[in-house]
Amino acid sequence: MGLFGRSQEKPPKELVDEWAKKIRREMRVIDRQIRGKIQKNEMLEDTFESMEDGEEMEEEAEEEIDRILFEITAGALGKAPGKVTDALPETEPAGATAASDDETEEDIEAMQSRLEALRS
């Protein structure tokens, strides 16, 4: 029969109500998804902001360390040069190292003889 006549379909008002319920349900799901996306975006923004703040915090920490070291060393650290420019000391001649090797061998032998004396 016709649209408003008796048929096996549900009346239009019930169909509209069902569609409205489905639409509301879908809108709630979409709303939850949007809220989740907003939260994630806010968290990412906070993370990036804190990463930028990390550089500032690092500089502040270095300044604080310098201040504390200055206090501990009673200002002596502030008088120290920024970098060492002195040349490395020259190595000892080959003969001097040979003499020191002989001395260390003698020392080792003397220690071993003392150890044996203590054992017996």
Total number of domains in the chain: 1
Rg (CA), the chain: 43
Residue 92 resides in a domain: no
Give the predicted TM-score (pTM) of the model. 0.37
Model pLDDT for residues 18-31, shown as the tens digit of each residue:
999 999 999 999 99
**What are 33-39's contacts with CB under 8 Å, separation 24+?**
none
Residue 119 resides in a domain: no
Residue 20 resides in a domain: yes
Host domain of residue 43: 12-81
> Residues 73, 74, 79, 82: what is their CA dihedral angle, to the nearest 10 degrees?
30
Percent of the chain with pLDDT over 70: 69
Model pLDDT for residues 49-73, shown as the tens digit of each residue:
877 766 777 888 888 988 888 888 8
Q: How far is the C-alpha of 112 from the C-alpha of 120, rounded, in Å?
A: 13
* Cβ 51 vs Cβ 59: under 8 Å: no
